[in-house]
Amino acid sequence: MLFLSPVILRFPIRCVKLGFHCPGPSQKFQCYYGDYCPEGSTRVLPCPAGSYCPDPTQIFTCSDGKFCPPGSTEELACSAGKFCATPSIELSCGFGDLCVENSTAAVPCPVGFHCPDAAAAIICSEGSYCPLSSGIELRCKRGFFCPTADKEIVCPIAAFCEGGVTEPSFCPSGHYCK
């Protein structure tokens, strides 16, 4: 952090320079990075949330998908697993949602994938299924088969389905399967 000592003057001054603040008639202080001091400032103004101030004389609005907490000197990426509906706050994604870096909204984890930490979508394993908004992978239950990661289908008559299978096994001729 930049530290500058005050300049004490013996005669009244006007604070007319950007990047300085003048709390009294004979005091002039340089502002710090992360602060904004427009012309005529009598006090230090922290760079507001949703903006960034690369130096005390400039203020810029944070871009969509970026995060700028109070006192920012640069735009920060909205973290994976979080979203920034506005640039002033990061919000956590819910279970079963997906928020990649720089997200402006949470989206449901896609069909065929599961999103255990909301930061990445992981493809569903064979013999499992993952409907829309899956936070966990679901093993295909006994009595069902899962031909694709987005379907769990009831085992047909004259067949049997152990858990975690992608296709039914048909009963041998002359046998009864339940």
Rounded Cα–Cα distance for residues 99 and 106 (Å):
5
Geometric angle at alpha carbon 171, from 169 and 172, rounded to 5°: 120
Give me the pLDDT at residue 16, please. 64
DSSP 8-state code for residue 175? -
pLDDT in tens, the chain (178 residues): 444 445 444 444 566 677 777 877 778 888 888 888 888 888 888 999 999 999 888 899 999 999 999 999 999 999 999 999 999 999 999 999 999 999 999 999 999 999 999 999 999 999 999 999 999 999 999 999 999 998 899 999 888 898 899 999 988 777 766 6
Rounded Cα–Cα distance for residues 3 and 66 (Å):
28
Geometric angle at alpha carbon 48, from 54 and 92, rounded to 5°: 100
Please answer whether residues 21 and 43 qualify as being in contact, where contact means their C-beta atoms are separated by less than 8 angstroms.
yes
Domain boundary assignment for the chain = 1-77
